[in-house]
């Protein structure tokens, strides 16, 4: 399965949503997640993310491992998103900033 990781937080570009053939993205206030039971592992979303926040579960670095459980948890809580929208207003400023997990809003 594919996983949305930290650099999506406070950016939320949503380019990923447009290419997903099974519409398995779910939207929170400042982060998106992938439902692990719905993702068909097509890989189409990975190159679309301007923040390079999407990775195959197999390619996660050690510190990114918690995002597997986080995607699974939040995908059950948040509504589905199947159309691209404008990124968050200051997405460019937050793209690449370290330690954004503390800003995650639920
Ligand atoms: Fe959707 Fe494919 Fe990305 Fe999975 S890998 S979230 S199915 S676009
Ligand atoms: Fe997030 Fe990248 Fe999609 S920033 S909303 S995972 S395009």
What is the pLDDT, as a whole number, of residue 49?
98
User: How far, in Å, CA of 57 to CA of 68, rounded?
Assistant: 7
18 lines ligand 1 (CB under 6 A): no
Please tell me the distance between residue 49's alpha carbon and the centre of ligand 2 in angstroms: 5
What confidence tens digit (pLDDT) does each residue in 13-68 have? 999 999 999 999 999 999 999 999 999 999 999 999 999 999 999 999 999 999 99
Q: With a cut of 0.90, is the ipTM above it?
A: yes
DSSP classification of residue 38: T
What is the pLDDT, as a whole number, of residue 30?
98
DSSP classification of residue 41: -
40 lines ligand 1 (CB under 6 A): yes
Residues within a 6 A CB radius of ligand 2? 4, 8, 11-16, 32, 49, 51, 53-54
What is the pLDDT, as a whole number, of residue 52?
98
| 2-82 has CATH 3.30.70.20 classification | yes
- For the chain, give every domain's residue range: 2-82
pLDDT band at 89 (very low <50, low <70, confident <90, very high): very high
43 lines ligand 1 (CB under 6 A): yes
Please tell me the distance between residue 9's alpha carbon and the centre of ligand 1 in angstroms: 18
């Amino acid at each position: 399965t594919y996983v949305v990781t930290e650099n999506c937080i406070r950016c939320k570009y949503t380019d990923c949503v447009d290419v997903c053939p099974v519409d398995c993205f779910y939207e929170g206030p400042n982060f998106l997640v992938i439902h692990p039971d719905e993702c068909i592992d097509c890989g189409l979303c990975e190159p679309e993310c301007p923040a390079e926040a999407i990775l195959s579960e197999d390619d996660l670095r050690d510190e990114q491992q918690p995002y597997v459980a986080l995607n699974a948890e939040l995908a059950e809580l948040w509504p589905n998103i199947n159309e691209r929208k404008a990124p968050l207003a200051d997405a460019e400023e937050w793209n690449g900033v370290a330690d954004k997990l503390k800003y995650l809003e639920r």
